[in-house]
Structure formats: C-alpha cells, structure tokens
Amino acid sequence: MKKKISNNFSVSLGLVDYINPILYSITCLVIIFNLNKIMDIPYNIIYIIGVILSLIFGFTIPTVKLLVGLGKIEFKLPVKYVFYVNLGIFISGLMLIKNILNINIYLFLGIILGSVILLYLIYRKTNKFNNIAVLIGGIGYLLIYISLITMALNNNLLIAVILYGIAICLYIMLIFIGLFANLKDARIHWLIEISNIICQFLVALSTIILFSYVIL
C-alpha cells in the first residue's frame, strides 16, 4: 500500500514563502542600480552572480514547500537549497563591504579566510551541515548590514539605521531558530516565514530610503 504523504505544510505556507525572495530581489535591484556607478566591474559581476544564486534557490524553496502542501512530495529539510541561498548572500556581502567600505585587499582576503575557518571549526564541532548553511547566511547578512548601515551613518540617515537595526535583531532570532528549533514542524516554518518577511521588508524599505537620499 502506498504511504500517504503528510500534508502538515500547507499550500498557503509555500505561497507566503515566495514573498521573501521577491523582497530580497527588490533590495538587490536597488543596490545594483545605484552601486554600479562606483563598484568595479569584476566585483559588480560577482555581486550579481551572488544575487542570482540566492534568488534561484530562494524561489526553489517555496516551490518545494508548495509541492509538499499539495501532497505531491514528502517534506525533507531543504538544507542544500538554504546553503546555496546563503552562499549567494555571503558572496554579495563580500562584494558590498569591499566596495562600500573600500577595504584593502588584505583585509578582504582576511575576512574570507576567517569566515571559512570559523565555519570549518563549527562544522568540526557540531558535525551538522545545517549549521553551516544557516551561519554562512548570517555572516553574509552581517557584511551587507555593516556596509549599508555605514553608508546610512555617513549620510546621517538615522531612520535607515534604525530600520536596519530592527532587521538585524529579527535575523539574529532567525539564526537561533534555524540552529536549534525543530525544522520539521510546520508551525516553526510559519514563524520563520513571517519573521523573515518583516525582516526583508525592513531591509528593502531601508535600502530604498538610503539610496533616495544618497548621491553617488
């Protein structure tokens, strides 16, 4: 007898999850449109590659959840998809901090090497690839937020700084959920998606406000 596919993950959860990559794509488009004037071509290309990587797998995850909700497939933790989304975010974050903060090549390479060593040590300690998938995104978002907050501070845009700060607090909460919560529970995914939507909305709004006032 064919095993019945669990339907704890509803269609609505999959549809709601599409909002996150849409909001993230808005943020990225605003950044690309404005920073292509000051970002060197190689870094600009790599930044765009990171964005494309994130969005491809960012839209794949809700599609998988939608198919689970429809009862077409069984739910499996999308760890590899999360990793590729967050790897793209990490790549984009590196390109932003290199250009916005204008750091030298040695510090830039040091950030990359330090991040790789940190992730390797955490994996050796926990032996959980999910932790790496979550934390590489945490580092990537940290680099993005540092870059954009620095730009906002340099232009005395306090409202953007506050909105980015709230988004950081939400994202830290999401990291802890990703590391310690039961990710097979659909209710946890609802909490993650609602929090992530608020976080992505705040970042998109902050970025639009920032580049509405900043003249590059």
- For the chain, the domain total comes to 1
Residue 54 covered by a domain = yes
Residue 197 covered by a domain = yes
Look-up: residue for tokens 């990291």? 175
Residue 204 covered by a domain = yes
Residue 3 covered by a domain = no
Q: Which residue has the higher pLDDT, 206 or 174?
A: 206
What is the rounded average pLDDT for all residues in the chain?
Answer: 87
Model pTM score = 0.87
Instruction: Give backbone dihedrals phi and psi of 189, rounded to 5 degrees, phi first.
Output: -70, -35
CATH of the domain at 176: 1.20.1070
Residue 122 covered by a domain = yes
Residue 62 covered by a domain = yes
pLDDT (tens digit per residue) in 38-82: 788 889 999 999 999 999 999 998 888 888 878 787 777 678 899
Lowest mean pLDDT among 65-74, 162-171, 189-198, 200-209: 65-74
User: Which tokens belong to 10?
Assistant: 């509803």
Residue 121 covered by a domain = yes
pLDDT of residue 50: 96
Residue 1 covered by a domain = no
Domain that holds residue 181: 11-213
Lowest mean pLDDT among 5-14, 33-42, 43-52, 144-153: 5-14
